[in-house]
Amino acid sequence: MPTQPLPQIIPDILREVFLYFTPPKSSDPDLIPLDLFACSLLSSTTLCQMPTKTLPQLIPDILREVFLYFAPPNSSGPDLIPPDLFACSLVCKYWYGEACPLLDRYKFQQLTLNSRYTSDELKRIGGLFIEYRRNGQEYFNKIESVLVDIISLTASDPVMKLSMPAVQTILAHLPPKQTRLCIMPKFAGTPWFARSFLRKDIPSLLIMTHIHLHDNSSNPIPTRQNHINDVIASLSLRLESLKLTDVTFNAKTYDTLCLCTTLREFHNRRRHESYHDHQGARVSSTLTSKDVL
């Protein structure tokens, strides 16, 4: 929250804005925190159901003031932007038009999904992906990179089990211009992640040209290695850059990498080692691309 409040819009106009965005027959808005006024739009039953009434006096100047009120001061990164604020910026084209220039650098070019989001928030973002892809919103033409970094969770964590389907939904509705994907520890070697890439009904996943996968497993598991191999194989015809961190190779990995005929950049890194470790040297001598690093 900014240190200097905007009393001219608090609380009366915020309440009007809440009423404007709240679907008809909703509960009393006085019972719902004003800074969560978009939540009612982001559930599976009320997603983006706009009221028929219009309040032109709130658009766009007042909406911009409300947005600035909720925006954290001197934002230096995407983690400082409240998830609800990000969601609010996608609620309608007027709000989006005002929010886009302010969030463009952080949210509309790279979407970061990390442990700061709860499983419910990830589900809501996934719902927004579905809704706005169907509506053809410009938002999807802006995202170029998605970073999935839920590093603090383990595969057996209940929160992880709730989050994984939500992230899978987001991956299944990737924007048309996205060519970069970074998957941090615990996700890259999971079966559901491999299945996401192997589904033929999601052609948008096959346009990826830059992939960064982290395994971060102290004890290599053959099935996890095979899942990562399958992911690389599914992207082999278009892949230009591949970065692997803590990924253990097996015989199939080398064969899979040889399928990447367009690969221009390759890094393989282990913790406490440089990118050019012994596995990377072997791969460099195996691949046909002269530009492999």
Q: What is the distance between the alpha carbons of residues 191 and 234, in angstroms, rounded to a whole number?
A: 14
Phi, psi of 24 (to 5 degrees): -55, 155
| Dist. CA 132–CA 134, nearest whole Å | 5
What phi and psi values does residue 16 have, to the nearest 5 degrees?
A: -65, -40
pLDDT of residue 18 exceeding 70: no
Q: What is the pLDDT of residues 199-209, one digit of tens each?
A: 554 555 566 78
Which residue, among 141, 142, 74, 80, has the nearest Cα to 110 in the 3D structure?
142
Per-residue model confidence (pLDDT) at position 72: 58
Least confident range from 30-39, 91-100, 218-227: namely: 30-39
Confidence band of 71 (pLDDT split at 50, 70, 90): low
What is the Cα–Cα distance from 84 to 68, expressed in whole angstroms?
13
Over residues 211-224, mean pLDDT: 64
H-type alpha helices, 104-218: 119-134, 139-142, 158-172, 191-198
Q: What is the pLDDT of residues 156-196, one digit of tens each?
A: 556 566 666 777 677 666 666 677 777 664 555 566 565 65
Can you give the pLDDT at residue 146?
Answer: 73
Question: Residue 93: which pLDDT band, with cuts at 50, 70 and 90?
Answer: low
Question: Residue 196 region, left (φ>0) first, then alpha (ψ -120 to 50), else beta?
Answer: alpha
Q: Around 117, how many Cα atoms within 13 Å sit in the side-chain half-sphere?
A: 30
Strand partners, 212: 182, 243
What is the Cα–Cα distance from 54 to 113, expressed in whole angstroms? Answer: 34
Q: Predicted confidence band at 197 (pLDDT cuts at 50, 70, 90)? A: low
**Of 216 and 289, the one with more pLDDT:** 216
Cis status of the peptide bond prior to 24, with omega within 30 of 0:
no
Report how far residue 136's alpha carbon sits from residue 177's, in angstroms, rounded to the nearest whole number. Answer: 13
Region for 278 from its dihedrals, namely left if φ exceeds 0, alpha if ψ lies in -120 to 50, beta otherwise: alpha
Q: Report yes or no: 145 and 181 within 8 Å, Cβ to Cβ.
A: yes
* Tokens standing for residue 135: 């509506």
Domains by residue range for the chain, with CATH: 1-108 (no CATH), 111-293 (3.80.10)
Write out the DSSP string of 66-134.
HHHHHSPTT--SGGGS-HHHHHHTTSSHHHHHHHHHHHTTTTSSEEEEETTS-HHHHHHHHHHHHHHHH
